[in-house]
Amino acid sequence: MIMAKNSEDAAKISRKGGGGSREYMQSFQDGRSRAGCDSCGFDMRRPDDYGSEKDKSRSENHCSTCYVNGKYVHKAKDLSEFVSLAVQDLADQRGQSTGKLKLTLKKELKNLPRWK
C-alpha cells in the first residue's frame, strides 16, 4: 500500500486511480452518483441509460427503457401490469431470462417511487 506523505503526494496517488471502472471514477470525480430508475430500478451509469423529458433534457429519475420524451413507454396502471408489459424489454436490457426476471421484478419493484 502506498502512503502519502503530504497533500501533494495524496493528489498524485488519487490521480493514478485506485480501483473501480473508468466511468464510475469519472462520475465520482464529477460529483455525480449513480441513479436508479424510479420505475424499473435499472442502475443508470452512462448518459444513454437515462430517459428524456419533453424538452429533450435528461430525466434524472427514469431510464431510457421506461421513459422517453416525458412519457412512460409502458403505460401501466399498477406494478403487475407493468411487469407484464415491460418484462421482455427489461430482460433484453439486463441480459436475463423473462421467467426469472418476472419473479424478481414483482418482489423488488414494489418499493420504487412509481409503484408506492
Mean pLDDT computed over 25-33: 50
3 has a pLDDT exceeding 60 = no
Place of cell 412519457: 71
- 97 falls within a domain: yes
Structural domain of 103: 75-115
pLDDT band at 34 (very low <50, low <70, confident <90, very high): low
In a domain, 65, yes or no: no
- Please tell me the total count of domains within the chain: 1
pLDDT band at 17 (very low <50, low <70, confident <90, very high): very low
Does 82 fall in a domain? Answer: yes
Q: Is 27 inside a domain boundary?
A: no
Burial of 89 (0-12, 13-18, 19+ CB in 10 A): middle
Q: What is the CB-side half-sphere exposure of residue 111 using CA atoms within 13 A?
A: 4
Residue 64 maps to a domain: no
The 10s digit of each residue's pLDDT in 38-63 is: 999 989 989 999 999 999 999 999 99
Looking at the domain assignment, is residue 13 inside a domain? Answer: no
What distance in Å separates the CA atoms of residue 9 and residue 35, rounded to the nearest whole number? 32
pLDDT for 70-81, tens place per residue?
999 999 999 999
